[in-house]
Amino acid sequence: MTVRARRSAAPAALRVAIVYVIARLITTAFLLIAAALSGPESRFGADATLGSLSMGWDGQWYWLVGTTGYPARLPLDDAGAVAQNAWAFMPLYPALSRGLSVVLGSYPIAAVLLALVAGYVSTLVLFHLLRERIDATSALWAVALFTAGPMGALFQMGYAETLFLTWLFLALWALVRRRFGWLYLLIPLLGYTRPGVLAFALLLGLYGLHRWWRRRVDPLPPAHMVHIFALGALATAVGFSWQLIAGAVTGDPSAYLDTELSWRQSWTGEDESGFVPFSGFIEAAVIWFRLWGLPEVLGYVALALVVAAATAVLMFSRHVRRLGPEVRLWSASYLVYLLAVFFPQSSVFRLLLPLAPLYGALALPRSVAWRVTMLVLGLVAQAWWIYQMLALGNTYARIP
């Protein structure tokens, strides 16, 4: 048996595990270097360690939620506006980390371990999700590009990303295989791990329209129609429920939205009067180009070009089309969701992680040189991200 044949015969879980462990060792080396390079002006100080970097930034907020819960009264800044607080962070990941910390004796250890394990599960599920449409070698390369990519540090930080991706990839896999029953469990798990379940609601709506449009070549049984409608309603209800919960606990119906806007206010320098869909990207396009010393009108042009390019890729790229309608519709839904609710700054790269199934398209060209080049570029980008966000992490443009 040849080496390639033996490799192909190995269980998928083992092949993915080998890729995942190698990627995590490389990331650990990057983090250790970042800790050594961290200086007195860094957010983490000159005595930064692997542990402090792993629990930095949002990891501190999740730690706060896991140990003290949510405030019953919203904190206010000097101007009387709602200040940044824990209501911006969903409860499932910190709750699981807190439960695991009872066994391990440490919340940081539990949080990082949970992220690591969830990261492996998410890569394994991503492999199987992509295998529904592409060959095993391409799917394994996609996993390598994903786990060793620019956001590789998040697989071993106290963030909720990998847990969210686990639920997301399972949900997409269930949708591809039309196992609708699993989605009734996965949608609430998605919704209470990280914001984004409203994008899944949009996906279900578009998926229903897609199935209806193709009903003559792909029959749409009444049972499927009922499931799609019910699941869309469930995802919508879960997506808005956190606002109701925050309002009920604090006595302020706008508690969640005001909390989210408090992060945006630190960029705009204005008293946000309320949430307006799609305004974040439009405002940010002007702000960033102003900060770069460029004409503000170029911000609008750049935003339009990025939207047009993303649309063209999702609609016309033959490699993306190979991934199937579910992945393409999810990618479109999630991008529309980000455009509607997010104010783009340096953390936008992290927020693009749910588009990871598109790594399948990046891995499809069979040229070894192409795949290796993409892998190296991902690792270089990861090293740069870790250095900027963790070793330095001291300006408005270095927030992971």
What angle do the packed helices 107-131 and 58-68 form, to 10 degrees? 110
Over residues 291-308, the mean pLDDT reads: 91
Contact 386, 153 (CB under 8 A): yes
Residues 6+ apart with CB under 8 A from 221: none
Query: Is the predicted pLDDT of residue 5 greater than 90, yes or no?
Result: no
Q: State how far the Cα of 88 lies from the Cα of 90, in Å rounded to an integer.
A: 7
Specify the pLDDT at position 394: 79
Residue 127 β-bridge partners: none
CA nearest to 192, candidates 243, 144, 260: 243
CA distances from 70 to 12, 195, 216, 250, 255 (A): 41, 17, 51, 9, 12
Residue range 140-154, pLDDT digits in tens: 999 999 999 999 999
Q: State how far the Cα of 324 lies from the Cα of 133, in Å rounded to an integer.
A: 7
Residue range 307-319, pLDDT digits in tens: 999 999 999 999 9
Query: Is the predicted pLDDT of residue 7 greater than 80, yes or no?
Result: no
CA distances from 315 to 23, 142, 144, 207 (A): 32, 20, 25, 15
82: phi then psi, degrees, rounded to nearest 5? -65, 130
Residue bearing the bigger pLDDT, 5 or 161: 161
Share of the chain above pLDDT 90, in %: 80
Structure token pair of residue 207:
């998926």
Mean pLDDT for all residues in the chain: 93
Specify the pLDDT at position 285: 87
Contact 350, 59 (CB under 8 A): no
Q: For 39-48, 128-137, 153-162, which range has the lowest pLDDT when averaged over its residues?
A: 39-48
Over residues 326-348, the mean pLDDT reads: 93
CA nearest to 324, candidates 113, 144, 176, 141: 176
pTM of the model: 0.95
Residue 78: other Cβ atoms inside 10 A: 6
Contact 144, 376 (CB under 8 A): no
CA nearest to 172, candidates 319, 315, 327: 327
CA distances from 57 to 44, 100, 351 (A): 10, 21, 15
Q: Burial level of 131, CB count in 10 A (0-12/13-18/19+)?
A: middle
Residue range 154-172, pLDDT digits in tens: 999 999 999 999 999 999 9
Structure token pair of residue 194:
């990280």
Residues in the chain: 400
Specify the pLDDT at position 9: 56
* DSSP calls for 277-288: TTHHHHHHHHHH
Q: For 117-131, 186-200, 327-341, 383-397, which range has the lowest pLDDT when averaged over its residues?
A: 383-397
Residues 6+ apart with CB under 8 A from 371: 141, 145, 363, 365
Q: State how far the Cα of 362 lies from the Cα of 129, in Å rounded to an integer.
A: 15
Strand, helix or coil for residue 76 = strand
Share of the chain above pLDDT 70, in %: 96
Residue 208: other Cβ atoms inside 10 A: 18
Q: State how far the Cα of 142 lies from the Cα of 131, in Å rounded to an integer.
A: 10
Residue range 213-255, pLDDT digits in tens: 999 999 999 999 999 999 999 999 999 999 999 999 999 999 9
Q: State how far the Cα of 48 lies from the Cα of 35, in Å rounded to an integer.
A: 5
Specify the pLDDT at position 183: 98
Specify the pLDDT at position 3: 47
Over residues 179-191, the mean pLDDT reads: 98
Query: Is the predicted pLDDT of residue 6 greater than 60, yes or no?
Result: no
Query: Is the predicted pLDDT of residue 1 greater than 70, yes or no?
Result: no
Name the pLDDT band for 79 (thresholds 50, 70, 90).
confident
Structure token pair of residue 132:
């529904």
CA distances from 281 to 99, 284, 294 (A): 38, 5, 17
Over residues 263-277, the mean pLDDT reads: 73
CA nearest to 204, candidates 195, 184, 216, 221: 184
Over residues 200-210, the mean pLDDT reads: 98
Contact 378, 371 (CB under 8 A): no
Name the pLDDT band for 271 (thresholds 50, 70, 90).
low
* DSSP state letter for 387: I
Specify the pLDDT at position 270: 61
Query: Is the predicted pLDDT of residue 268 greater than 90, yes or no?
Result: no
Q: State how far the Cα of 159 lies from the Cα of 24, in Å rounded to an integer.
A: 15
Residues 6+ apart with CB under 8 A from 14: none
Over residues 361-384, the mean pLDDT reads: 96
Over residues 385-396, the mean pLDDT reads: 86
Measured between its terminal Cα atoms, the distance across the chain in Å is 46
Specify the pLDDT at position 22: 98
Strand, helix or coil for residue 82 = strand
Specify the pLDDT at position 286: 86
